[in-house]
Amino acid sequence: MKGYGQHMKRNQKTYLAILVILGLVVVAITQYTNKEADATTVDTKPKTGYAAPVLDLPDLQDADITVGGPQDKLTLINFWAAWCGPCELEAPELQQSFEKHASQLQILGINATSQDRERDARQFVEDQKLTFPILMDRDGKAIEQYKVSQFPTTLVVDKNGMIVERVNGIITAEDIDRFVQQYANG
């Protein structure tokens, strides 16, 4: 019986070693696959040097507004949600910049309505006293086409419809001043 016990211990160690090796292989494959997926996602994001996707979205009065494509002015496309704390922080600066740069800059706020409640979005606009166009992405197509995965996300689009900057996170009035100075007359 003594030999049987030693044989079982040896088999257990062998099985354990095989399980550890298999676990490491699974982890390695998962990490490699995730890196490949991340690389693909980054490459397909609308980013600097690429044309901004063109689509029509309804504003708060249900009038369609075209996003992307050539425009008369530099355009800031800002994706936000009512539940987003950082979006609330940047909203006053967006409004201030809209008023300051109205002749050179168009700001389009796109609410992630597919991930938000429309009544909350409308209340947010009212509370923040936003007067620039607010568009409703009710079916999530804008978020999908612009590959938005966090809020706020802002794209700066030149008059030719080309993305010149993409900012994930809060932008300030100073950032917007720089965008206008750098890109509005180009």
For residues 96 and 93, give the distance between their C-alpha atoms in angstroms, rounded to a whole number: 5
Convert the pLDDT of each residue in 103-159 to its tens digit.
Answer: 999 999 999 999 999 999 999 999 999 999 999 999 999 999 999 999 999 999 999
The structural domains of the chain, with segments of one domain joined by +, span 1-44, 55-183
Residue 135: strand pairing partners? 59, 110
According to DSSP, the β-strands at 64-67 and 134-136 are unpaired
Considering only residues 130 and 44, tell me which one the structure prediction assigns the higher pLDDT.
130
Q: Are 136 and 121 in contact (CB under 8 A)?
A: yes
Contacts of 180 (CB under 8 A, 6+ apart): 74, 101, 104, 105
How does the average pLDDT of the chain come out, rounded? 87
Rounded Cα distance, 36 and 38, in Å: 5
Amino acid present at 80: W
Range 55-183: architecture per CATH: 3-Layer(aba) Sandwich (3.40)
Residue 111 token pair: 């609410």
Copy the structure tokens of residue 43: 């490459």
Percent of the chain whose predicted confidence (pLDDT) is above 70 = 78
Q: Element (H or E) spanning 117, and its range? A: none
pTM: 0.76
Could you tell me the CA-to-CA distances from 159 to 7, 143, 151, 183 in Å, in that order?
77, 21, 24, 9
